[in-house]
Amino acid sequence: MAASSISSSLPRSIRQAIPRCQQATTSSSSIIPSPLRQFRSFTTSHCSTKPSRPTPLALYTLRNAPRNPVRSFSSTPALPAKTVQQLKARSSTGPFSWKAAALFIVTGAGMIVYFRYEKARIERKRVVEMSKGVGKPKVGGPFVMKDLDGKVFTDEDLKGKYNFVYFGFTHCPDICPDELDKMALIIDTVREKSGGKYVMRPIFITCDPVRDTPDVLRKYLAEFHPGIIGLTGTYGQVKNVCKQYRVYFSTPENVKEGEDYLVDHSIYFYLMDPEGDFVECIGRQDTPETASQVILEHIGDWKREGKPLDTSEEP
């Protein structure tokens, strides 16, 4: 019953071939003539359910068949097969190549430099903002002095450029000459690295108005740098500007003409931005190179923020 149900499920062509195959196999080989015996072996091999062994021609066709046949539903051409040398090269280098490693190193180094620069810039900005904060002693403020031509010079004349302010006196035996030599180098370095533009205004304010007349100041400052602007005034005006910049000085108020004395004073350069606000204090420990770098960094930050900066030469 089970065999009949299985045979009924087979296709008609196979059901017709089964009786013939069974009849051929049950016949005696001694009765069948030689031609019929050959036909029997042929039909037995073709009616058998065992898979036939592929012929040499079929094996040759399979071995030489293309590895990447053209895809019927794709407009993109198939990629060529990789050679043995390419596969060996890839397996020896792994997923990374020398070019990828070099690109990774360069990118990483660039990111490190960028983040270090941004960290320094944010720190400079923080210092500047702290000097403007509530409760902090302000450096700089309103004052009235005179230049070496007798013209009035106020804090409003500082605006537009960066200002590099120093307090001293012409009778200083050693400290002021050393600091003015440094000031001259800073002026030239900043101007050279700014493309020859006058982005900074150097100013020398005397702490000894009695002996530092305009003629004395003009001759003294010319020995260091022709671009330094000298300012002088009365004792009260000098005292006021020193107070605004938090500068200590010990000049006696009522001195007689020809009297000899020394003046003690603070030894700092004051960097002020184009809006008249204090930016940085540069002391004796700073070299001309480090001081110039600090000034140029602040100027660069100012320019990147798109703020106006006067670069014209002083009249």
Q: What is the pLDDT of residues 151-190, one digit of tens each?
A: 999 999 999 999 999 999 999 998 999 999 999 999 999 9
pLDDT for position 165: 97
Averaged pLDDT of the chain: 77
Residue 83 has pLDDT above 70, yes or no: no
Query: Are 257 and 179 members of one domain?
Result: yes
Domain coverage including residue 114: 104-136
For 31, other C-beta atoms within 10 Å of its C-beta total 8
Cα(99)–Cα(303) distance, rounded to whole angstroms? 37
Q: How many Å apart are CA 165 and CA 280, to the nearest integer?
A: 11
| Band of pLDDT at residue 24, cut at 50, 70 and 90 | very low
* 265 in a labelled binding site: yes
Q: In this structure, is residue 98 part of a structural domain? A: no
Question: Is residue 256 within 8 Å of residue 149, measured between CB atoms?
Answer: no
- How many distinct structural domains can be found in the chain? 3
Residue 176 marked ligand-binding = yes
CATH code where residue 186 lies: 3.40.30.10
Q: Are residues 110 and 227 in the same domain?
A: no
> What would the pLDDT profile of 112-146 be if each residue is shown by its tens digit?
765 565 555 566 565 555 555 444 568 899 999 99
**Same domain as 295, residue 149:** yes
CA atoms within 13 A on the CB side of 191: 18
Among 198-202, 255-259, 295-299, the minimum mean pLDDT is found in 255-259
Judge whether 92 lies within some domain. no
Whether 174 maps to a domain, the answer reads yes
Looking at the fold, whether 150 and 238 belong to one and the same domain comes out as: yes
The answer to whether residues 132 and 240 belong to one domain is no
Q: Are 309 and 275 in contact (CB under 8 A)?
A: no
Task: Kindly state whether residues 248 and 290 are assigned to the same domain.
Answer: yes
How do residues 84-119 score in pLDDT, each as one tens digit?
Answer: 666 666 655 556 667 777 776 777 777 676 556 555
The answer to pTM > 0.75 is: no
Pair (120, 171) in one structural domain: no
Same domain for 189 and 233, yes or no, is yes
One domain for residues 245 and 111: no
Query: Cα–Cα distance between 282 and 271 in angstroms, integer?
Result: 8
Sign of the torsion formed by the C-alpha atoms of 26, 32, 34 and 39:
negative
Mean pLDDT in residue range 256-281? 90
